[in-house]
Amino acid sequence: MAEGTPLLVFFGGYSNNLEAQRELIENPHSVFGLSDGGAHCGVLVDASVPTYMLSYFARDRERGPTIPLPLVVHKMTQDTARTYGLLDRGVVAEGYRADLNIIDFEALKLHPPEMVYDLPGDGKRLIQRSGGYRYTMCAGEVTYQDGRHTGAMPGRLIRGG
């Protein structure tokens, strides 16, 4: 699997395809999200899931239908924000917080996972970089441009509603 790169994928049971998972994602009662808050950062990487959803399920899937891009974006933004009571996010509209990603959809890709040792005590964590994200904005301020941090840090700790 993955040409010798050790990967661990959690997405429920597989029957040689991802059709059951696509159906679950498209279910109007499902909410998209995956994270363990970094508890297992030395053995798996959850941060790549949004990029995988956009690049594979909305664009590259060949064995079965793709998920329409507007639905993937909706489920990863407004649906998730509402689930957690963050009612000022998830929509591009006046009065909403301007947290945005400007993406080159055709260039969107995941790089191979890599292990880094940058935690206290040389602790390890698995990371997976991506490409195709042109700008990331938090509260309307550019925090990343072409994968590089701009130095801006307008974010803050939040709690759900």
Per-residue pLDDT reduced to its tens digit, 28-74: 888 876 566 667 788 777 788 899 999 999 999 998 999 999 999 99
Which residue matches tokens 């949004």?
A: 50
pLDDT digits (tens, 9 = 90+) for 66-105: 999 999 999 999 998 888 888 999 999 999 988 999 999 9
Every domain of the chain and the residues it spans: 36-149
CB neighbour list of residue 89: distance below 8 Å, 6 or more residues apart: 77, 81, 96, 97, 99
Report how far residue 99's alpha carbon sits from residue 147's, in angstroms, rounded to the nearest whole number: 16
Helix ranges, 16-106 (H): 19-26, 49-52, 69-74, 80-83
pTM score > 0.85 for this model?
no
